[in-house]
Amino acid sequence: MIGTVVNAGCIILGSVVGSLLKKGLGSKYQDALYTAMGISAAALGISTFCGNIAKSTFPVLFIISLALGGLTGTAMDLDGRTKRLIARYGGDNLAGGLISACLLFCVGTFSIVGPILSATKGDNTFLYTNATLDLVTSMVFAATYGIGIIVSAAILFCWQGMFYLIGRFASGPMVMESGLIEEIAITGGLLIVASGLGLLKIKDCKTLNYLPALLVPVIWFLAKRLFF
């Protein structure tokens, strides 16, 4: 778990440093950072999607995932409830920024494969690389949205911890070879794009309502293994 601890620690450090920088930024510079974060999120989401869709053996699974996930999340009002909770303590801007930060930190090959490699082979290379990237990203996010971004460190720790436990107690190599990671990344990439559109004020996609879509590939692969 040392790699995950380092990754979460880098987000905490970046959030603290970024929040200190925020105090010296005028409103027009903060607006420029909002736009930069929106463009970056959209670009990274597209890159994640395009980098994994060619590897998919079920190229329509992400469509089914988004449809089922969106219906489930909308019924539960995940986006509205989460944003209202965050806005109560940190304001409306923080809600959008925190959602985008969590998606960027958690939905990616490094954050999924890294903990599994750490658990099965003791290799923390992916996690240390991810920690470096997240240090810089959290710094910019916190400079834009404030110290509240630090909450994403706890979310990342739980997310990576889940995959670490999968690697320890399930069959880590089988998880990586099954194609599950690619399917999660494809759907996650589109959620990051949706988050970027929200930051740019182009379209509020209510991204969190689609979060259950990340579970659909997991259910599909479990069903495939059990029944096919």
Sequence-ordered alpha helix ranges (H) in the chain: 2-22, 27-53, 61-76, 78-90, 92-106, 109-121, 125-145, 151-169, 172-177, 180-199, 215-227
DSSP string, 8-51: HHHHHHHHHHHHHHHTT--HHHHHHHHHHHHHHHHHHHHHHHHH
In the chain, the number of structural domains is 1
Give whichever of 90-99, 138-147, 164-173 has the largest mean pLDDT: 138-147
Q: 55: Cβ–Cβ under 8 A, 6 or more apart, which residues?
A: 179, 182
Digit-coded pLDDT (tens) for 151-181: 999 999 998 998 888 777 765 455 555 678 7
Q: How many residues are listed for the chain in this entry?
A: 228
First CA to last CA distance, the chain: 34
Helix axes 78-90, 92-106, angle to 10 degrees: 120
**What is the structure's pLDDT at 92?**
62
Per the listing, tokens 């494969």 go with 113
Confidence band for 5, pLDDT divided at 50, 70 and 90 = very high
Instruction: Give how far the C-alpha of residue 129 lies from the chain's centroid of Cα atoms, to the nearest Å.
Output: 16
Bigger pLDDT: 187 vs 84: 187
Bigger pLDDT: 198 vs 69: 69
Tell me the residue range of the domain where 79 lies.
2-227
